[in-house]
Amino acid sequence: MESTSLAALSDRDAARMALTFKGLADPTRLKILSVLLRGEIRVSDLAQRTQTSQSAVSHQLRVLRDLRFVSSRREGTQIFYRIDDEHIEDLFNKAFAHGKHLPNQGERVL
């Protein structure tokens, strides 16, 4: 693992890290990422697999695209999305593993 400097985190780096966590901070975005980690997929299929409306999926994909988590390509009238950053799978898996250590919703967090 890459070691970080003992110096305080710069405002710029802190803001970038916060944006990265923002990308993981929504259950719908996490469901979308979980499907995209299996490979490229059309928006309509992504909506079906996540049981989310196509407009909601499109909105969340825009957020993920702006954060450079995903990219798209057009094939005729269809738009396909894929993971666009090699770090996303690692971040997703670490967040998933960490979530297993948290109490269930409704349980008290100390």
List the CATH number of the domain containing 64. Answer: 1.10.10.10
Q: Which two tokens stand for residue 44?
A: 């309509």
Query: Does residue 1 register a pLDDT over 70?
Result: no
Q: What is the pLDDT of residues 11-43, one digit of tens each?
A: 999 999 999 999 999 999 999 999 999 999 999
What are the DSSP calls for 30-77, one per residue? HHHHHHHTT--EEHHHHHHHHT--HHHHHHHHHHHHHTTSEEEEEETT
88 within a domain of the structure (yes/no):
yes
Instruction: Give residue 9's pLDDT band: very low, low, confident or very high (50, 70, 90).
Output: very high
70 within a domain of the structure (yes/no):
yes
109 within a domain of the structure (yes/no):
no
Rounded to two decimals, the pTM is 0.84
16 within a domain of the structure (yes/no):
no
Q: Determine the structural domain holding residue 48 and report its residue range.
A: 26-94
Q: What is the pLDDT of residues 50-68, one digit of tens each?
A: 999 999 999 999 999 999 9
